[in-house]
Structures are given as structure tokens and as C-alpha cells.
């Protein structure tokens, strides 16, 4: 899968995946969504972002954990 809005630059932000070359890590955006922030709230906090950036950040995070063994506790 191609991610047109996600950039990784070794000399910027330690090479962590960011949104469109901005110093806004994907993990920050995904964390904001996980905390319950709406797209509108995130865009208000980061006016350089677009709604499609948030969607692609979530897709990127989903792809990053796909097919990986994660330390999950089995439910009862």
C-alpha cells in the first residue's frame, strides 16, 4: 500500500513517520484519535493538517500492526 501523505525523513524528527513532511508524527495524530478527539478538534489544533491526513495516518497505523505478533492478553 502506498501512503502519499506519510513521509519518513532521517534528518527530521529522528526519522519517525510524519504527515506530509510536517513535524507532526503519525503517532501523535493516531493518539489524538484514540483519546477521542474528533477530526475537527485535531484540525483546530493542527491547522496545517487536512482531514485526509488523519484518515491516512489511521490507515498507516493499521498497516503497521497488521500481521504482527502483539503481546495481547487473552480474554476470559
Percent of all residues in the chain with a pLDDT value above 90, rounded to a whole number: 82
Q: State the maximum Cα–Cα separation within the chain, in Å, rounded to a whole number.
A: 46
**pLDDT, tens digit, for every residue of 17-48?**
999 999 999 999 999 999 999 999 999 999 99
- Please tell me the distance from the alpha carbon of residue 70 to that of residue 68, in angstroms, as a whole number: 6
Domain 6-64 has CATH 1.10.3720.10: no
pLDDT at residue 76 in the model: 59
Amino acid at each position: 500500500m502506498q501512503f502519499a501523505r506519510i513521509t519518513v525523513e532521517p534528518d527530521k524528527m529522528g526519522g519517525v513517520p510524519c504527515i506530509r513532511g510536517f513535524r507532526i508524527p503519525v503517532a501523535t495524530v493516531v493518539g489524538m484519535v484514540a483519546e477521542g478527539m474528533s477530526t475537527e478538534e485535531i484540525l483546530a489544533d493542527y491547522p496545517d493538517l487536512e482531514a485526509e491526513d488523519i484518515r491516512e495516518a489511521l490507515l498507516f497505523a493499521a498497516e503497521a500492526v497488521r500481521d504482527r505478533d502483539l503481546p495481547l492478553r487473552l480474554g476470559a
